Amino acid sequence: MTGVGAEGIDHVSIAVVDLDGAVAFFTGVLGLRQTHAEVNEREGVSEVMLAGKSGGAQVQLISPVVAGAGASGGGASGAGASAGSLSGVAKFLNERGSAIHHLAIQVADVEVAARAAQAAGVRVLSETPLSGTKASKIVFLHPKDCHGVLIELVQPAS
């Protein structure tokens, strides 16, 4: 295995202020199909997964949720009204507006992959894997060590 041993692109994630509007665009204008939706309270996001007919990499749309309230799509201002600390995604939207947020790389074993990244001098953003979409195990790599791109390593649930 070389480096983290990327097996493919799992998803490209776009942070959006208007989740419903973005879903309507990616399905109605681009012709992708919604395959999944969930709220990840720990990451503070409501997310929608989209895929094309031939499969391949997915598009993930993420938008901040207000912790505990279950609200979504209201953008950064809603999240700011909660406990006082903005989620990373809310902060990102405040600073940049809707934009590509991260690139997710599929790996066979996220802990092995994270150690390989660390050995290459890349900052790993959590000591242990976090819970991702569809019970996947995920780890993020610091964008400043990855040519300006926030990288997510994903080990799909078996």
Residues that bind ligand V0V (CB under 6 A): 13, 40, 43, 45, 60, 62, 88-89, 91-92, 101-102, 104, 125, 132-133, 136, 138, 140, 143-144, 148, 150, 152
d(CA 52, CA 152): 21
Minimum CB separation of residue 86 from ligand V0V in Å reads: 9
CA–CA dist 54, 154 (Å, integer): 21
Q: In the numeric block, which tokens belong to residue 100?
A: 């590509």
32 binds Co ion per the rule CB under 5 A = no
**Between residue 56 and residue 75, which ones bind Co ion under the rule CB under 5 A?**
60
* C-beta of 72 vs 133, nearer to ligand V0V: 133
Q: What is the CA radius of gyration of the chain?
A: 15
Q: Which of 127, 108, 144, 142 is nearest to 5 (CA)?
A: 108
Report if residue 113 touches Co ion, rule: CB under 5 A.
no
Euclidean distance between CA atoms 131 and 105, whole angstroms? 15
104 binds Co ion (CB under 5 A): yes
CB-based contact 91:72 (threshold 8 Å):
no
CB of 110 to Co ion, least distance (A): 13
Phi, psi (5° rounding) for residue 59?
A: -110, 130
Question: What is the smallest separation between the CB atom of 88 and Co ion, expressed in angstroms?
Answer: 12
- Residue 13 is a binding residue for Co ion (CB under 5 A): yes
Closest to ligand V0V by CB, 74 vs 132, is 132
Which residues form the interface with Co ion (CB under 5 A)? 13, 60, 104, 152
